[in-house]
Chain A
Amino acid sequence: MNRKIKSRIEVALIYLFIAFMFVVIAYPLLWTISMSLNPGTSLYSASLIPEKPSLEHYKWLFTSPQSDYLLWYKNSLFVAAINAILSVLFTALIAYAFSRYRFVGRKMGLYLFLVLQMFPSLMAMVALYVLLNMLHLLDSLWGLILIYVGGQIPFNAWLVKGYFDTIPRELDEAARMDGAGHFGVFFRIMLPLAKPILAVVALFNFMAPFTDFLLPSIVLRDPEKYTLAVGLFNFISDRFANNFTRFAAGSILIAAPIAIVFLFLQRYLISGLTAGGTKG
């Protein structure tokens, strides 16, 4: 009897703690939503439960002639789509070579990837700025794409190579017997079988431009070329002067789709990462 009561109290305490965590997690998120529904643009007069909730900020983002929001959305989609396609292509080619062939420099290449993925790209910002300037790619979405595609290689090459390693070699050998060449094996065996991991890579690279503000804020100058994150950041870069409610509305429209996709895919992500962590 005593033991049962003790167990009940324990369970109650666990639920209590989880409920506390729920409040801590939900509070900032709900607060953002309520801010976005507050009429007026000042943070000071905004309240947690708006007296007259309105969608005026959402309307402003999409319809006001002063708002570049749709343009930013279009830019972000463009960068995201091209980045996803090129990243998958380059990464898959490299991963295939490293997984299936033994060639001079292979081990060094793998080491290089492992080291390079640790260095924050921020360290190289000045150089990237000068380089893009030399190539006349400053203030251009293509310049941004170039850096994204090159920068993702070390991390994703490992990820995809790990997956390719799990595809049995007998399959390639059988295809070789049937007369498939190097390219044949790649396109007809490896790519179709590695669809899940390639989808993950594509998705990562599709989402990155929506959430990265640092690189675009250095590369892009013209507000018409901004991606969403830079544009939104500039809403409030004069430190919450008066645009916070608008910022809240704009960021909810980015965060909501990303969060939903993410929640659906996090299982794959975790299994990919643990496999990568213990097996490399």
Chain B
Amino acid sequence: MSKQKMRHRPTVAIILSILFAGLGQLYNRRYVKGILFIVIEAVFLITFYNFLNIGLWGLITLGEIPMVDHSIFLLIQGLVSVIIIAFAAVLYYFNIIDARKDALRLQRGEPFPSLLESCGNVWDKGFPYVFVTPGLIMLLFVVVLPLLFMVSLAFTDYNLYNSPPRHLLHWVGFKNFKNLVSVPIWQDTFFSVFAWTIVWTIVATTLQIALGLFLAILVNDPRIKFKRFIRTVLILPWAVPAFVTILVFAAMFNDKFGAINRDILSAFGVMIPWMTDPFWTKVALILIQTWLGFPFVFALFTGVLQSISRDWYEAAEMDGATRWQKFRSITLPHVLYATAPLLIMQYAGNFNNFNIIYLFNDGGPAVRGQNAGGTDILISWVYDLTFTTNNYNMAAAISIIIGLIVSGFALYQFRRTRSFKEEGNI
């Protein structure tokens, strides 16, 4: 017995299970498990071999014969193959770990759990995966796979003139990104759209937060009555679906027959070209977004303001603090500390606020020498490039840039979210 113990080597088990899943387990004399693993790998190889083979070939070449090979379908099959292989690799890794564990056990001469016990073990350990799998598969195919597809497109030459099935696509490396910053028309458009996106995000979001904060403080004043009623009315713009209100505003701001010019400004003898002058369209967009966005911030701040203890203010009054000092050193820090992640989300949301730009004026008015409208932000430009001019590759390249910026927001969020720090200790 002791001789056998010495002779049983975990390394052999590991190498065997790398060669083919289950061999290591057989070497460990766990026959049922070993045969089961072998059958699973065999079935996997038989069912998926062709699919994976074509998928990987397609992912690398994107097809070789026009009209026969459809690059887009090959690309998707390739990405699906990569996902399946990643899954298989994880399972394979567990197979190797399992072989090593059992081999070590055998070496130490410990008894194995009975078949029934190990079945129960697997059920208990594997249970969370059973629960997660259905949702995870949906997530993979509806969210992750499309994102991977988009990322891949940015490195191809897929556009209106070069589209399957008539033509094949090719991998072009970083060419699209280079064109974006070096070909004059793309360069001009990209920088002006990018600049406006930043201005839009900062100005519109800051305005809506400032107005929300201001109103929350006003309504919170103890001398004000009918608080419930006032709060309900102030939240109304949030309650009405945004796509309805934006379209209504688009009609109201119409240059010729909109209510703003016809009923309000005409009293002062002014006509403002809201829809035809880029500057005024931008002003209108910022005003509308402030209208749409302040109620959320207002509701949020109202909740926080009510939770600040009166003691703070009383102590400050004892010290003879002015109202501004109380605001600066008590109210503001409290409010901002409690809501910072949500406020950052507001900035991120406006950065990608496609609805308002598209529904209000479709990114217009048009600007000469650019292939985006005067008020297009990055995301609405991507939409136009995709669905109007079919410049899929450029749209994908810009999407990646959006993605990188959004990840910046996400990174901040990671560091802020307290529970993540707690999660780290588990």
CA–CA, A118 and B395, complex, Å: 19
**A-B CB proximity, top 4 nearest:** A150-B142, A280-B419, A124-B146, A127-B146
CA–CA, A244 and B247, complex, Å: 10
Which residues on B sit within 8 Å (CB–CB) of A18?
215, 218-219, 224, 230
Tell me if B's interface is mostly helix, strand, loop or mixed. Answer: helix
Stretch of A50-58, A66-74, A97-105, A198-206 on the interface side: A97-105
Is B144 part of the contact surface with A, judged by Cβ < 8 Å?
Answer: yes
Is A83 part of the contact surface with B, judged by Cβ < 8 Å?
Answer: no
Is B392 part of the contact surface with A, judged by Cβ < 8 Å?
Answer: yes
Hey, what's the 0/1 contact readout for A117-136 against B, CB within 8 Å counting as 1?
01111111111101100100
> Which B residues have a C-beta under 8 Å from some C-beta of A?
72-73, 76, 124-125, 127-129, 131-132, 134-136, 138-139, 141-147, 149-150, 153, 215, 218-219, 221, 223-224, 230, 232-245, 247-249, 251-252, 254, 256-257, 259, 263, 291, 299-300, 303-304, 338-342, 348, 352, 354-355, 358, 379, 382-383, 386-387, 392, 395-396, 399, 402-403, 406-407, 409-410, 413-414, 417-420, 423, 426
Docked-complex contact A93 and B142, CB < 8 angstroms: no
Docked-complex contact B138 and A90, CB < 8 angstroms: yes
Hey, what's the 0/1 contact readout for A30-44 against B, CB within 8 Å counting as 1?
011001000000011
CA–CA, A90 and B132, complex, Å: 8
Hey, what's the 0/1 contact readout for A1-40 against B, CB within 8 Å counting as 1?
0000001001100110110011011101101100100000
Which residues on A sit within 8 Å (CB–CB) of B224?
11, 14-15, 18
Is A48 part of the contact surface with B, judged by Cβ < 8 Å?
Answer: yes
Which residues on B sit within 8 Å (CB–CB) of A97?
127-129, 131-132
Docked-complex contact B402 and A123, CB < 8 angstroms: yes
CA–CA, A130 and B234, complex, Å: 43
B49–chain A nearest beta-carbon distance, Å: 21
Hey, what's the 0/1 contact readout for A239-279 against B, CB within 8 Å counting as 1?
01000100110010011001100110010001101100111
Docked-complex contact B252 and A211, CB < 8 angstroms: no
Which residues on A sit within 8 Å (CB–CB) of B340?
277
Which residues on B sit within 8 Å (CB–CB) of A31?
248, 252, 259
A-B contact pairs, 27 of them (CB 8 A): A11-B223, A14-B224, A31-B252, A90-B134, A94-B136, A102-B426, A111-B414, A114-B413, A118-B409, A120-B402, A123-B403, A126-B146, A126-B153, A130-B73, A130-B149, A134-B76, A149-B142, A150-B143, A182-B124, A182-B127, A251-B244, A255-B240, A258-B239, A273-B342, A277-B340, A278-B341, A279-B418
Q: Which of A43, A127, A153 is B135 in contact with, Cβ under 8 Å?
A: A153
Docked-complex contact A126 and B139, CB < 8 angstroms: no
Which residues on A sit within 8 Å (CB–CB) of B392?
126
Which residues on A sit within 8 Å (CB–CB) of B354?
120, 122, 214
Docked-complex contact A25 and B147, CB < 8 angstroms: no
Is A210 part of the contact surface with B, judged by Cβ < 8 Å?
Answer: yes
Given A11-B223, A118-B406, A130-B76, check contact A110 B423 (CB 8 Å). Answer: yes
Docked-complex contact A124 and B134, CB < 8 angstroms: no
Instruction: Kindly report which residue of chain A lies nearest to residue B142, judged by CB atoms.
Output: A150
Docked-complex contact B138 and A25, CB < 8 angstroms: no
Is A175 part of the contact surface with B, judged by Cβ < 8 Å?
Answer: no
Docked-complex contact B303 and A271, CB < 8 angstroms: yes
Given A25-B233, A263-B232, check contact A233 B423 (CB 8 Å). Answer: no
Tell me if A's interface is mostly helix, strand, loop or mixed. Answer: helix
CA–CA, A44 and B355, complex, Å: 25
Is A184 part of the contact surface with B, judged by Cβ < 8 Å?
Answer: no
Given A32-B248, A109-B132, A123-B402, check contact A259 B379 (CB 8 Å). Answer: no
Q: Which of B150, B230, B237, B300 is A273 in contact with, Cβ under 8 Å?
A: B300
Docked-complex contact B241 and A153, CB < 8 angstroms: no
Hey, what's the 0/1 contact readout for A147-170 against B, CB within 8 Å counting as 1?
101110110010000100000000
CA–CA, A48 and B263, complex, Å: 9
B406–chain A nearest beta-carbon distance, Å: 5
CA–CA, A14 and B314, complex, Å: 23
Instruction: Kindly report which residue of chain B lies nearest to residue A218, judged by CB atoms.
Output: B387
> Which A residues have a C-beta under 8 Å from some C-beta of B?
7, 10-11, 14-15, 17-18, 21-22, 24-26, 28-29, 31-32, 35, 43-44, 48, 90-91, 93-94, 96-98, 100-103, 106-107, 109-111, 114-116, 118-128, 130-131, 134, 146-147, 149-151, 153-154, 157, 162, 182, 186, 210-214, 218, 229, 232-233, 236, 240, 244, 247-248, 251, 254-255, 258-259, 262-263, 266, 270-271, 273-274, 277-280
CA–CA, A119 and B252, complex, Å: 32
Which residues on A sit within 8 Å (CB–CB) of B414?
111, 114
Docked-complex contact B235 and A116, CB < 8 angstroms: no
Docked-complex contact B244 and A124, CB < 8 angstroms: no
Which residues on A sit within 8 Å (CB–CB) of B134?
90, 93
Docked-complex contact B252 and A28, CB < 8 angstroms: yes
B17–chain A nearest beta-carbon distance, Å: 18
Which residues on A sit within 8 Å (CB–CB) of B247?
233, 236, 247, 251
CA–CA, A110 and B355, complex, Å: 28
Other than the given A14-B221, A123-B402, A273-B300, 17 more pairs (CB < 8 A) read A11-B224, A15-B224, A25-B233, A28-B248, A29-B240, A31-B259, A107-B423, A114-B414, A119-B143, A120-B352, A146-B138, A151-B143, A263-B232, A266-B239, A274-B300, A274-B304, A274-B339
Docked-complex contact A157 and B135, CB < 8 angstroms: yes
Which residues on A sit within 8 Å (CB–CB) of B146?
123-128, 131
Which residues on A sit within 8 Å (CB–CB) of B215?
18, 21
Given A149-B138, A150-B141, A153-B139, check contact A279 B419 (CB 8 Å). Answer: yes
Given A28-B248, A114-B414, check contact A93 B403 (CB 8 Å). Answer: no
B394–chain A nearest beta-carbon distance, Å: 12
Q: Which of B149, B239, B386 is A262 in contact with, Cβ under 8 Å?
A: B239
Given A93-B135, A151-B142, A278-B418, check contact A118 B243 (CB 8 Å). Answer: no
Most A CB within 10 A of own CB, among B132, B383, B420: B132
Given A119-B147, A153-B139, A278-B338, check contact A130 B72 (CB 8 Å). Answer: yes
CA–CA, A244 and B254, complex, Å: 12
Most A CB within 10 A of own CB, among B142, B219, B342: B142
